Amino acid sequence: MQLKVGHIFINDIQFGDQTEVKDGVLFVNRQELEELLLEDEHLASVQLELAHPGDSVRIMPVKDVIEPRVKPEVEGGIFPGLVGRMFTAGRGTTHVLKGVGVVTTGRIVGYQEGIIDMSGPGADYTPFSKLHNLVICAEPVEGITPHQHEASLRRMGLKAANYLGEAGRLLTSDEIITYETLPIPEQHAKYADLPKVAYVYMLQSQGLLHDTYFYGVDVKNIVPTFMYPTEVMDGAIVSGNCVSACDKNTTYHHLNNPVIHDLFKRHGTDLCFVGCVITNENVTLLDKQRSSDLTARLVEALGVDGVIISEEGFGNPDTDLIMNCNKIEAKGIKTVLLTDEFAGQDGTSQSLADGSPAADAIVSGGNANALITLPPMERVIGSVEPAEVIAGGFKGNRREDGSIVVELQAIIGATNELGFNKLTAREY
């Protein structure tokens, strides 16, 4: 399966009379987009704001971040199964408005939404401070349930990203990168002398607002499945969860998964990237056993020498991570695990809820319990009211000068378990 990704570099975003890209600037018709989003009967109000790198702006509580993309040969937007038409993702051509993010915020859904600071020390911990962001602050109608609220915000963000993506449909890309994965037998034959590597992609699926969607299907309802890595770049996987902000995989993270991109860079040179196995993170022991059994069996059937396994979340999913590791290693296949740590504010607590001697190659995304002081900002998009109740916050953490003391857990992407961050840890 071959996918050509065309990057259209955006250097600024502004409101304008019509939505279009001119000389590297994305202009957005504010009224038109607001009216489109308010077609959702569950939303009482929608307000669009802009936030640029270096601005004295705090965005919170953040639900999701999405990158605008469009497939010129496909009517409608990407994200098959959720908005737009159903199609097989991962092939053909996709245009990307590179440097732009759609950020959703508003009244808190659960308690694990997070913070994006566009400047100051907090900006160093989130990749989204480097984007020109269209921020959608939405308030739900009264009487809405948390699940209806989450679904409305999810659809809202995807619709907005598709709307902006349309501005790139007919443009010529500044850069085109081609990605290709052959069918498994052809991969093995073409790269017979290279070690075969697969990617086990664990997706949050514990329910209670901890959900991820694959072609529109809640991942808790699937069994481990093979997918082409280019499908991920085309919106086949969408975030729908409200897990801790630090290691939540937003939809932007999925679209730009660095594990997939790094494996593609080495594909055909010093390894053969066979493809992805997506699997869920479960709540009950029986479900964990089933998924890890099937994951190991599918990995074995791919005929690979090693796998990279990434986790999403912490605590309960640590068990899924170690089960996958143990069962794959037992088949003689080497594993490397990607996770983060919750080692306490002083770094001396147990980092993971589970462990194994077989887990002898682990890459850490950093300690999510480390404290940081976020200075006051001139403007807040959303509300600072949830600062004490979001994961990583605590009572009394808001100071009179407008600064906030939080754990890194509260910052979107701070300890991301795909490696989409700056932090790690080393054992001495």
Residues 6+ apart with CB under 8 A from 261: none
Encoding tokens for residue 187?
A: 């991969």
Q: What are the domain boundaries of the chain? A: 2-410
Does the CA dihedral 87-91-93-99 come out positive or negative? Answer: positive
Q: How far is CA 170 from CA 20, 90, 161, 221, in A?
A: 10, 19, 16, 37
Helix (H, G, I), strand (E, B) or coil at 346: coil
What CA dihedral angle connects 236, 99, 68 and 259, to 10 degrees?
A: 0
CB 411 within 8 A of CB 128: no
CA distance to 205, 302, 399, 406, 414, per residue, from 248 (Å): 12, 28, 27, 17, 9
Main-chain phi, psi angles of 33, to 5 degrees: -70, -40
Of 283, 159, 286, the closest CA to residue 210 belongs to: 283
Q: One-letter amino acid identity for 259?
A: V
Q: What angle do CA 193, 195, 201 make, to 5 degrees?
A: 145
The half-sphere exposure of 309 on its side-chain side, counting CA atoms within 13 A, is 31
User: Coil, strand, or helix at residue 319?
Assistant: helix
Tokens of 168: 């790139």
User: Is residue 137 among the annotated active site residues?
Assistant: no
Tokens of 362: 């682990």
Per-residue pLDDT of the chain (428 residues; tens, 9 = 90+): 899 999 999 999 999 999 999 999 999 999 999 999 999 999 999 999 999 999 999 999 999 999 999 999 988 889 999 987 889 999 999 999 999 999 999 888 877 789 999 999 999 999 999 999 999 999 999 999 988 998 999 999 999 999 999 999 999 999 999 999 999 999 999 999 999 999 999 999 888 788 999 999 999 999 999 999 999 999 999 998 877 899 999 999 999 999 999 999 999 999 999 999 999 999 999 999 999 999 999 999 999 999 999 999 888 899 999 999 999 999 999 999 999 999 888 888 888 889 999 999 999 999 999 999 999 999 999 999 999 999 999 999 999 999 999 999 999 999 999 999 888 777 65
Entry pTM: 0.95
> Which residues are within 8 A (CB) of 400 and not within 5 positions of it... i.e. 6 or more apart?
none
Identify the active-site residue in 137, 242, 246, 325: 242
The residue written with tokens 């493809």 in the block is 275
Contact 364, 424 (CB under 8 A): yes
